[in-house]
Amino acid sequence: MIRRSFVMAFADKISGVVLNLATMAIVSRILTPAEVGLFLLASTVVILIETFRDFGIGAYLIQAAELTPMTVRTAVTIMALMSLGLGVSALALSDMLASYYGKAELGGLLRVAALAFLVAPISNPLLALMRRDMAFGRVAAIGVATALTNAVATITLALAGFGPFSFVWGSVLAAGVSAAGALICRPDFWIFRPALRHWRQILPFGTWSTIVTLLGMLADALPRLILGRVLGFAEVGLFARAISLNQLPDRLLLSAAQPVLLPALSAHARNSGVLKGPFLTGLSYVSGLQWPALAMIAVLADPIVRLLLGPQWLAAIPLVRIVALAYFLLFPTYLCFPVLVSLGRVRDMAAAMSIALPPSFAVMLWASHSGLHDMAMSLFLTGSLQVASLLWFVRRKVPFAWAELGEVLLTSGGVTLATLVLPVTLIASLGSWDGMSAAVAALAIAGAAVGWVAGVILLAHPLRRELGILGTFVLRPGRAIGNGRSL
């Protein structure tokens, strides 16, 4: 069941990533880094406000041991009230933020983006209920339709000369499609009948979940917020694109697991309460997939930037390499949140983020005054702070030996080195890491794939079992998915 859900979630995510890449490749050749940076700053503000809008309702509906109709109606009512109130707040704050950053266009972007707050209370709870029921096929269909709408609208509007507003209108139209799709796939109109009877049951979870999500979003948004004020919107665009390119492995390989992990781990915790095995296995999977991908992004930064962004973004190449190496540290973060939430320890997650965020802000603020290079280098320190804090809290509830974690890292590190052998040898023989042709880059990727498979098999990495299942899936897909067991 878990593997089938993962396959459907992966189909959803991979289609979204492909469409986003196409949008990025086209729009980055139309808009300047400064225009892209302006939109990204506006979207950062909107995302931070959206954290309060959801109020953890989605996670609550997924992990709650028992849901009654009145509880669901109460949760949806709270989400609707929060969404409408925060939409009005976004409108009220738009001019003030535009003045703070010295860009009048920012206010207009925020006002348009606030329209999405009207439909979010429709799509979000229905999608959460579908995920709780493991109905990832319907969720995937909605996700594909939403991503396609966003891509087509954004590209069309960018070509028509809408500038950074093309992104915002694309996201608003996509939100409308998501709401319509959710109603079509799960027409449970009764959940929208107002009710507040169980607000005392929902608010404590929502409060802590919102704090955790806000702190996580704030940690991710700090570079953009700081750079927009200290250096300028072009620098925001360059840095944000370097981050986006290094998040591709997460979006392609790991983000599909996130919607499945929380309900799966919550069910596992309710049944046995022992999560050490799934946690360590999950870490081996994450590092075994993410590290080789990040290593290849560092190696192929030049052709990746030229292909996906175009010649006006070449200044992002060194940033891409630094960020790729810094992101090696972040592999535990993808499992810490679902593990702690499934154990009912969302407060621990909030405490961990609260400890890491203030020094991270100070480090980034100091680094920003020295330029983009130092800002990127600061990610090594801020990432270490975040991971150390999270693992300390996780080990209190999921005890594991550091030697066990070291074994995971050693095996995944070996797979990463095996992945790099052929591409590094090929590129070194040419004598240049920059300006390589598309053919050389394609050969390097093929060599990396061969090395990764060889490393997984020879080092007996836990992913070897998944390779066997993948081979069975190619030959007998129904049996491979149907007989797949939960991790």
Confidence bin at 481 (pLDDT 50/70/90): very low
Q: How far apart are CA 320 and CA 222, in angstroms?
A: 18
Backbone CA torsion sign across 343, 347, 351, 353: positive
Of 325, 297, 318, the C-alpha closest to 381 is 325
Q: Kindly state the tokens that stand for 225.
A: 């917020």
At residue 274, what are phi and psi to the nearest 5 degrees? -100, 115
Of 293, 453, 145, 434, the C-alpha closest to 153 is 145
- The single-letter DSSP state of residue 331 is T
119-138: per-residue pLDDT in tens?
888 888 888 888 877 777 78
Confidence bin at 485 (pLDDT 50/70/90): very low
Q: How far apart are CA 321 and CA 297, in angstroms?
A: 7
Q: Are 249 and 294 in contact (CB under 8 A)?
A: yes
3-state SS class at 415: helix
pTM of the model: 0.74
Spell 179-217 as b/e; 16+ CB within 10 A means b.
Answer: bbbbbebbeeeebbeebeebeeebeebbebbbbbbbbbb
Confidence bin at 273 (pLDDT 50/70/90): low
Backbone CA torsion sign across 315, 369, 237, 298: positive
84-111: per-residue pLDDT in tens?
887 888 888 888 888 888 888 888 888 8
Q: Chain-wide mean pLDDT for the chain?
A: 82
Q: How far apart are CA 289 and CA 285, in angstroms?
A: 6
